[in-house]
Amino acid sequence: MSLRYRPEIDGLRAVAVLPVVAFRFGAPWAPGGFVAVDVFFVISGFLITSIIRRELGEGTFSLAGFYERRIRRILPALFVVIVASLAAAMALFLPHHLRDAGQSAAAATFFASNVLFLLKVGYLDAAAYTKPLLHTWSLPIEEQFFIFVPLILMALAALNRQAILWVGGLTAASFALSAATTTLMPTAAYYRLPWRAWEMGVGALPALKSWPLPHRRALRESVMAGGLLLIGPRSGALSYDADRTAFFLDRLEKAIRRLRGAGKQVMLVYPPPEAEQTVPEAAARTPVRGSDPEDLSISREGFDRRAAGVIEGYDRLVEDYDLLGVRIDRLLCDNRNCDLFLDGTPLFRDTNHLTETAAYTLAPQFIWALRELETIQ
């Protein structure tokens, strides 16, 4: 027997999906919209555990029927998304990104895309815009969770044990793992079930006990308002990429202090401009748009705005510790734009790492800086 329709849960889903969509489209008011994914985990834990508990109580639960319903509910929509994504990838992607899209499609089909993205995440990994199925990472976590939950609840029912105590203990263990190791293993904590299980466990716990619904309208609306407050402000306040400029500058200053204390001269190289897309790939797409690769550039104003905190910090370090600073941006940028190409050759091999051509272009500046250091010594 399925759980009776809960309109308030559908309403919560509708509210939660808005910040996720806004975050994916880069809305400035929802930098933490991704937290709504955690809301979906909690909802899934509650709904599925409620269904299993009810059917176990009625003696109608079967693993085959449970998984059959999950397959009918998930696979048709998933296959539509996969086919549509691959069709778009064939029209828009370069060959190596098309290969990656095929791998993502295969992993998503077998509910293993979270494992694939975990293995492929790296310092120079492809940007998110080249992974049309990146958003499927959360679906395998749910399905992996629901492989174990029916088995655990069936075993506890057979042993006549208090399910809420055991599920509560497992939920607490998962939360403790997440709290203790997320900063040490952030990628694993993001993509793997043991670090995420507590979120679905939080939803499962209230489903294991009968709770009377509030009958007074004022109380119901107060509870609803509390739920909205838990989602809305966090979507606007949290940031997916926390600003680590202050942390970076603090550690850099400590390193400089030690070097200067040891009598060493230090040359501080300022950050180069950063492109929004991998430069060679952006150039490969220009014929499709009927443009010239030489026209690709970075707005000087945009670069100055993004790098303002780092440049100000570097300026302070140069002055405080009497360092020699090399401004790469002044060599690659004029007052309006920063060049990405020189005589038809890209100056960046990705978004911000310089090519050999760029190195030769900047070499005279570095030679001068090194000679200045020798003069100082």
Average pLDDT over residues 216-224: 75
Is residue 243 over pLDDT 90?
no
Q: Which residues contact 373 (CB under 8 A, 6 or more apart)?
A: 265, 267, 324
Quote the longest CA-to-CA distance of the chain.
87
Full-prediction pTM beyond 0.95?
no
Q: Is residue 321 part of a domain?
A: yes
In the chain, how many domains are there? 2
- Same domain? For 288 and 146 the reply is no
CA distance 231 to 296: 40
- Same domain? For 195 and 320 the reply is no
Q: 238 or 112: which carries more pLDDT confidence?
A: 112
- Same domain? For 218 and 249 the reply is no
Contact by Cβ (8 Å): 108, 133: yes
pLDDT tens-digit readout, 324-346: 888 888 888 888 888 888 777 88
Q: Of 237, 257, 284, which residue is a domain's last?
A: 237
Share of the chain above pLDDT 70, in %: 85
pLDDT at 168: 93
- Same domain? For 258 and 367 the reply is yes
Q: Of 214, 237, 260, which residue is a domain's last?
A: 237
Q: Is residue 332 part of a domain?
A: yes
DSSP 8-state symbol, 35:
G
Least confident of 32-36, 114-118, 179-183: 32-36
- Same domain? For 186 and 284 the reply is no
CA distance 363 to 189: 42
- Same domain? For 205 and 348 the reply is no
Average pLDDT, the chain: 83
CA distance 105 to 119: 15
Residue 48 corresponds to which tokens in the numbers above? Answer: 């599925």
- Same domain? For 36 and 145 the reply is yes
Q: Which residues contact 286 (CB under 8 A, 6 or more apart)?
A: 292, 293, 295, 296
Q: Is residue 2 part of a domain?
A: no
pLDDT tens-digit readout, 273-328: 888 778 887 777 777 666 766 677 888 888 888 888 999 999 999 999 988 888 88
Q: Is residue 1 part of a domain?
A: no
Q: Which residues contact 135 (CB under 8 A, 6 or more apart)?
A: 24
Q: Which residues contact 138 (CB under 8 A, 6 or more apart)?
A: 37, 40, 41, 114
pLDDT at 333: 86
Domain that holds residue 136: 7-237
Q: Is residue 287 part of a domain?
A: yes
- Same domain? For 230 and 251 the reply is no
